[in-house]
Protein backbone atom coordinates (compact mmCIF):
# COMPACT_ATOMS: atom_id res chain seq x y z
CA UNK A 1 0.00 0.00 0.00
CA UNK A 2 1.21 3.56 -0.64
CA UNK A 3 2.56 5.58 2.27
CA UNK A 4 0.41 8.51 1.16
CA UNK A 5 -2.73 8.05 -0.89
CA UNK A 6 -4.68 11.07 -2.07
CA UNK A 7 -7.96 9.97 -3.63
CA UNK A 8 -10.44 12.01 -5.70
CA UNK A 9 -9.72 15.18 -3.80
CA UNK A 10 -11.72 18.28 -4.66
CA UNK A 11 -11.02 21.47 -2.74
CA UNK A 12 -13.05 24.65 -2.80
CA UNK A 13 -12.53 28.28 -1.85
CA UNK A 14 -16.12 29.37 -1.56
CA UNK A 15 -17.59 28.56 -4.97
CA UNK A 16 -14.20 28.32 -6.66
CA UNK A 17 -12.98 24.77 -7.23
CA UNK A 18 -9.18 24.77 -6.90
CA UNK A 19 -8.66 20.98 -7.18
CA UNK A 20 -10.74 18.54 -9.24
CA UNK A 21 -10.56 14.79 -8.73
CA UNK A 22 -6.87 14.73 -7.79
CA UNK A 23 -5.31 11.27 -7.26
CA UNK A 24 -1.73 11.06 -6.00
CA UNK A 25 0.21 8.15 -4.53
CA UNK A 26 3.56 8.27 -2.77
CA UNK A 27 5.27 4.99 -1.90
CA UNK A 28 7.93 4.49 0.77
CA UNK A 29 11.39 5.50 -0.42
CA UNK A 30 10.15 7.49 -3.41
CA UNK A 31 10.71 11.08 -4.43
CA UNK A 32 7.49 12.19 -6.10
CA UNK A 33 6.85 15.62 -7.53
CA UNK A 34 3.77 17.49 -8.58
CA UNK A 35 4.55 20.09 -11.21
CA UNK A 36 2.37 23.00 -12.11
CA UNK A 37 2.34 26.65 -13.08
CA UNK A 38 1.35 29.46 -10.76
CA UNK A 39 -2.28 29.03 -9.74
CA UNK A 40 -2.47 25.35 -10.74
CA UNK A 41 -3.38 24.34 -7.19
CA UNK A 42 -0.07 23.09 -5.78
CA UNK A 43 -0.24 24.93 -2.47
CA UNK A 44 -3.87 23.98 -2.10
CA UNK A 45 -2.95 20.30 -2.42
CA UNK A 46 -0.19 20.67 0.18
CA UNK A 47 -2.59 22.37 2.55
CA UNK A 48 -5.19 19.70 1.88
CA UNK A 49 -2.68 17.00 2.89
CA UNK A 50 -1.64 18.97 5.97
CA UNK A 51 -5.13 19.40 7.32
CA UNK A 52 -6.29 22.82 6.17
CA UNK A 53 -9.95 23.44 6.93
CA UNK A 54 -10.88 24.25 3.30
CA UNK A 55 -14.04 22.57 2.07
CA UNK A 56 -13.18 19.37 0.25
CA UNK A 57 -14.30 15.93 -0.77
CA UNK A 58 -12.26 12.80 -1.34
CA UNK A 59 -9.74 11.30 1.06
CA UNK A 60 -6.15 11.51 2.24
CA UNK A 61 -4.77 8.28 3.69
CA UNK A 62 -1.38 8.01 5.39
CA UNK A 63 0.00 4.60 6.46
CA UNK A 64 -3.46 3.19 6.04
CA UNK A 65 -5.02 5.79 8.36
CA UNK A 66 -7.61 8.21 7.05
CA UNK A 67 -6.22 11.66 7.90
CA UNK A 68 -8.70 13.66 5.82
CA UNK A 69 -10.30 15.32 8.83
CA UNK A 70 -7.31 15.46 11.18
CA UNK A 71 -6.14 18.88 12.37
CA UNK A 72 -2.64 20.04 11.41
CA UNK A 73 -0.98 19.35 14.77
CA UNK A 74 -2.19 15.73 14.75
CA UNK A 75 -0.83 15.29 11.26
CA UNK A 76 2.57 16.54 12.43
CA UNK A 77 2.42 13.93 15.19
CA UNK A 78 2.24 11.23 12.52
CA UNK A 79 5.66 12.52 11.43
CA UNK A 80 4.61 14.23 8.27
CA UNK A 81 6.88 17.29 8.14
CA UNK A 82 6.42 20.25 5.88
CA UNK A 83 8.87 22.84 4.58
CA UNK A 84 8.36 25.67 4.59
CA UNK A 85 5.65 25.68 7.20
CA UNK A 86 3.14 28.49 7.19
CA UNK A 87 5.17 30.45 9.69
CA UNK A 88 8.52 29.69 7.99
CA UNK A 89 11.65 30.19 10.08
CA UNK A 90 11.88 32.21 13.28
CA UNK A 91 13.89 35.31 12.25
CA UNK A 92 14.96 36.33 15.76
CA UNK A 93 16.14 32.90 16.81
CA UNK A 94 19.54 31.53 15.90
CA UNK A 95 20.01 28.74 13.38
CA UNK A 96 20.54 26.28 16.21
CA UNK A 97 17.43 27.45 18.07
CA UNK A 98 15.39 27.16 14.89
CA UNK A 99 16.55 23.56 14.52
CA UNK A 100 15.63 22.91 18.13
CA UNK A 101 12.09 24.11 17.39
CA UNK A 102 11.80 21.37 14.77
CA UNK A 103 12.68 18.54 17.14
CA UNK A 104 9.73 17.02 18.95
CA UNK A 105 10.13 16.30 22.67
CA UNK A 106 10.76 12.64 21.85
CA UNK A 107 13.63 13.64 19.60
CA UNK A 108 15.42 15.96 21.99
CA UNK A 109 17.42 13.04 23.33
CA UNK A 110 19.12 12.62 19.96
CA UNK A 111 19.14 16.33 19.23
CA UNK A 112 22.94 16.58 18.88
CA UNK A 113 23.13 13.65 16.51
CA UNK A 114 20.30 15.01 14.37
CA UNK A 115 21.78 18.51 14.29
CA UNK A 116 25.09 17.07 13.09
CA UNK A 117 23.24 15.29 10.29
CA UNK A 118 21.60 18.52 9.19
CA UNK A 119 24.98 20.29 9.35
CA UNK A 120 26.61 17.53 7.30
CA UNK A 121 23.90 17.98 4.69
CA UNK A 122 24.06 21.78 4.72
CA UNK A 123 27.54 22.90 5.85
CA UNK A 124 26.47 26.55 5.40
CA UNK A 125 24.15 26.15 8.36
CA UNK A 126 26.96 24.89 10.54
CA UNK A 127 29.03 27.99 9.74
CA UNK A 128 26.05 30.16 10.61
CA UNK A 129 24.71 28.25 13.61
CA UNK A 130 24.86 31.15 16.07
CA UNK A 131 23.47 33.69 13.59
CA UNK A 132 19.83 34.77 13.70
CA UNK A 133 17.57 33.21 11.10
CA UNK A 134 16.51 36.59 9.78
CA UNK A 135 20.07 37.45 8.78
CA UNK A 136 20.47 34.43 6.47
CA UNK A 137 20.29 34.58 2.67
CA UNK A 138 17.21 33.20 0.92
CA UNK A 139 18.97 29.95 0.08
CA UNK A 140 20.22 29.52 3.64
CA UNK A 141 16.72 30.15 4.99
CA UNK A 142 15.40 27.46 2.67
CA UNK A 143 18.08 25.06 3.97
CA UNK A 144 17.18 25.97 7.53
CA UNK A 145 13.51 25.39 6.88
CA UNK A 146 14.23 21.95 5.41
CA UNK A 147 16.69 21.22 8.23
CA UNK A 148 14.06 22.07 10.81
CA UNK A 149 11.58 19.74 9.13
CA UNK A 150 14.19 16.96 9.18
CA UNK A 151 14.65 17.37 12.93
CA UNK A 152 11.23 15.77 13.35
CA UNK A 153 12.66 12.57 11.78
CA UNK A 154 9.79 12.57 9.29
CA UNK A 155 8.38 9.50 7.61
CA UNK A 156 7.24 11.83 4.85
CA UNK A 157 8.84 15.14 3.95
CA UNK A 158 6.59 17.59 2.10
CA UNK A 159 8.36 20.35 0.22
CA UNK A 160 6.41 23.33 -1.05
CA UNK A 161 8.38 24.90 -3.94
CA UNK A 162 11.87 24.42 -2.50
CA UNK A 163 13.42 26.21 -5.51
CA UNK A 164 11.19 29.29 -5.34
CA UNK A 165 13.15 32.50 -5.79
CA UNK A 166 16.58 30.86 -5.53
CA UNK A 167 19.54 30.95 -7.92
CA UNK A 168 20.05 27.77 -10.01
CA UNK A 169 23.27 26.80 -8.25
CA UNK A 170 21.63 27.06 -4.83
CA UNK A 171 18.68 25.03 -6.11
CA UNK A 172 21.03 22.32 -7.36
CA UNK A 173 22.68 22.19 -3.93
CA UNK A 174 19.33 21.81 -2.19
CA UNK A 175 18.04 19.19 -4.65
CA UNK A 176 21.30 17.25 -4.37
CA UNK A 177 20.91 17.24 -0.59
CA UNK A 178 17.37 15.91 -0.88
CA UNK A 179 18.51 13.20 -3.29
CA UNK A 180 21.32 12.23 -0.93
CA UNK A 181 18.95 11.89 2.01
CA UNK A 182 16.61 9.81 -0.10
CA UNK A 183 19.43 7.50 -1.26
CA UNK A 184 21.18 7.19 2.09
CA UNK A 185 18.29 7.15 4.53
CA UNK A 186 15.39 6.13 2.32
CA UNK A 187 13.58 9.37 3.13
CA UNK A 188 10.25 9.63 1.31
CA UNK A 189 9.66 13.02 -0.29
CA UNK A 190 6.69 14.68 -1.94
CA UNK A 191 7.36 18.07 -3.48
CA UNK A 192 5.40 20.60 -5.48
CA UNK A 193 7.32 22.74 -7.94
CA UNK A 194 7.04 25.19 -10.81
CA UNK A 195 10.63 24.29 -11.75
CA UNK A 196 9.71 21.30 -13.90
CA UNK A 197 13.19 20.52 -15.15
CA UNK A 198 14.84 20.42 -11.73
CA UNK A 199 11.96 18.54 -10.12
CA UNK A 200 11.75 15.91 -12.86
CA UNK A 201 15.49 15.24 -12.66
CA UNK A 202 15.17 14.75 -8.94
CA UNK A 203 12.05 12.59 -8.94
CA UNK A 204 11.27 8.92 -9.36
CA UNK A 205 7.74 9.81 -10.41
CA UNK A 206 5.88 12.98 -11.18
CA UNK A 207 2.41 14.36 -11.74
CA UNK A 208 1.55 17.39 -13.84
CA UNK A 209 -1.19 19.63 -12.45
CA UNK A 210 -3.05 22.02 -14.76
CA UNK A 211 -5.94 24.12 -13.48
CA UNK A 212 -6.50 21.82 -10.52
CA UNK A 213 -6.45 18.58 -12.53
CA UNK A 214 -3.71 15.99 -12.95
CA UNK A 215 -3.17 15.85 -16.72
CA UNK A 216 -0.10 13.59 -16.88
CA UNK A 217 1.91 11.30 -14.69
CA UNK A 218 4.87 9.01 -15.12
CA UNK A 219 8.50 8.51 -14.26
CA UNK A 220 10.58 11.67 -14.03
CA UNK A 221 12.70 10.46 -16.96
CA UNK A 222 9.70 9.77 -19.23
CA UNK A 223 8.16 13.16 -18.54
CA UNK A 224 11.50 14.87 -19.16
CA UNK A 225 11.73 13.10 -22.52
CA UNK A 226 8.13 14.06 -23.47
CA UNK A 227 7.47 17.47 -22.02
P1 LIG B 1 -0.32 27.26 -6.80
O2 LIG B 1 0.19 26.89 -5.46
O3 LIG B 1 -0.16 26.17 -7.81
O4 LIG B 1 0.20 28.55 -7.28
P5 LIG B 1 -2.82 27.68 -5.40
O6 LIG B 1 -3.10 26.38 -4.75
O7 LIG B 1 -2.23 28.77 -4.57
O8 LIG B 1 -1.90 27.44 -6.69
O9 LIG B 1 -4.15 28.26 -6.06
C10 LIG B 1 -5.04 27.44 -6.83
C11 LIG B 1 -6.26 28.26 -7.22
O12 LIG B 1 -7.02 28.58 -6.05
C13 LIG B 1 -5.93 29.58 -7.88
O14 LIG B 1 -6.90 29.81 -8.87
C15 LIG B 1 -6.04 30.58 -6.76
O16 LIG B 1 -6.41 31.83 -7.26
C17 LIG B 1 -7.13 29.99 -5.90
N18 LIG B 1 -6.95 30.33 -4.48
C19 LIG B 1 -5.88 30.05 -3.71
N20 LIG B 1 -6.05 30.48 -2.46
C21 LIG B 1 -7.27 31.07 -2.42
C22 LIG B 1 -8.03 31.72 -1.41
N23 LIG B 1 -7.57 31.85 -0.16
N24 LIG B 1 -9.23 32.21 -1.73
C25 LIG B 1 -9.71 32.07 -2.99
N26 LIG B 1 -9.06 31.46 -3.99
C27 LIG B 1 -7.85 30.97 -3.72
P1 LIG C 1 26.04 14.27 -13.00
O2 LIG C 1 26.51 15.71 -13.05
O3 LIG C 1 26.71 13.42 -11.98
O4 LIG C 1 25.93 13.62 -14.34
P5 LIG C 1 23.33 15.16 -12.93
O6 LIG C 1 23.73 16.40 -13.66
O7 LIG C 1 22.40 14.24 -13.64
O8 LIG C 1 24.57 14.31 -12.45
O9 LIG C 1 22.66 15.57 -11.57
C10 LIG C 1 23.14 15.18 -10.31
C11 LIG C 1 22.09 15.51 -9.32
O12 LIG C 1 21.87 16.90 -9.34
C13 LIG C 1 20.80 14.81 -9.64
O14 LIG C 1 20.43 14.03 -8.54
C15 LIG C 1 19.81 15.91 -9.86
O16 LIG C 1 18.68 15.71 -9.03
C17 LIG C 1 20.50 17.17 -9.44
N18 LIG C 1 20.36 18.19 -10.47
C19 LIG C 1 20.98 18.25 -11.64
N20 LIG C 1 20.61 19.32 -12.35
C21 LIG C 1 19.71 19.96 -11.61
C22 LIG C 1 18.94 21.13 -11.80
N23 LIG C 1 18.99 21.88 -12.90
N24 LIG C 1 18.09 21.47 -10.82
C25 LIG C 1 18.01 20.74 -9.73
N26 LIG C 1 18.71 19.63 -9.48
C27 LIG C 1 19.54 19.23 -10.41
Closest CA to 97 of 64, 130, 63: 130
Protein residue whose Cα sits closest to atom 26 of ligand 1: 13
| CA pair distance 190, 227, nearest whole angstrom | 20
Rounded Cα distance, 144 and 124, in Å: 10
pLDDT of 86? 60
3-class state of residue 104 by DSSP:
coil
Atom of ligand 1 nearest to the CA of 46: 6
- CA atoms of 169 and 33, how far apart (whole Å): 20
The ipTM (two decimal places) reads 0.70
Residue 223 has pLDDT above 90, yes or no: no
CB-based contact 36:208 (threshold 8 Å): yes
Spacing, Cα 8 to ligand 2 middle (Å): 33
Q: How much is the mean pLDDT over the chain?
A: 93
How far does the centroid of ligand 1 lie from the alpha carbon of residue 225, in Å? Answer: 29
Other CB atoms within 10 Å distance of the CB of residue 196: 18
The stretch 150-167 carries a mean pLDDT of 94
How many other C-beta atoms can be found within 10 angstroms of the C-beta atom of residue 131?
14
Substitution candidate for ligand 1 out of 44, 47, 160, 161 with most atoms within 8 A of CB: 44
In the structure, what pLDDT confidence band is assigned to residue 227 with cuts at 50, 70 and 90? low
State the Cα–Cα distance between residues 146 and 81, nearest whole angstrom. Answer: 9
**Contact assessment for residue 42 and residue 19, using Cβ atoms and an 8 Å cutoff:** no
Nearest to 16 by CA among 70, 54, 47, 50: 54
pLDDT tens per residue, range 64-110: 999 998 988 899 899 999 998 765 799 999 999 999 999 877 788 89
* Residue 126 reports pLDDT greater than 80: yes
Ligand nearest to the CA of 54: 1
Would you state the pLDDT for residue 221?
83
Spacing, Cα 114 to ligand 2 middle (Å) = 26
What is the pLDDT at residue 87?
A: 57
| CA separation for the pair 121, 142 (Å, rounded) | 13
Is the CB–ligand 1 distance for residue 84 below 6 Å?
Answer: no
Which one of 139, 173, 202, 204 would you pick to mutate in the ligand 2 pocket, going by the greatest count of ligand atoms within 8 A of its CB?
202
How far, in Å, CA of 57 to CA of 226, rounded? 32
Residue nearest to atom 13 of ligand 1 (CA): 39
Amino acid sequence: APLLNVRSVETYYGNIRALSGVDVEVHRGEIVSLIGANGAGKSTLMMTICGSPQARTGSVVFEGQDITRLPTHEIARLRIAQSPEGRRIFPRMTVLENLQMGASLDNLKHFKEDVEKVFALFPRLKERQTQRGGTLSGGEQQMLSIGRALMARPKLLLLDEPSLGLAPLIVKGIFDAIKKLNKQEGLTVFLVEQNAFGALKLSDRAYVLVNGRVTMSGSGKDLLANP
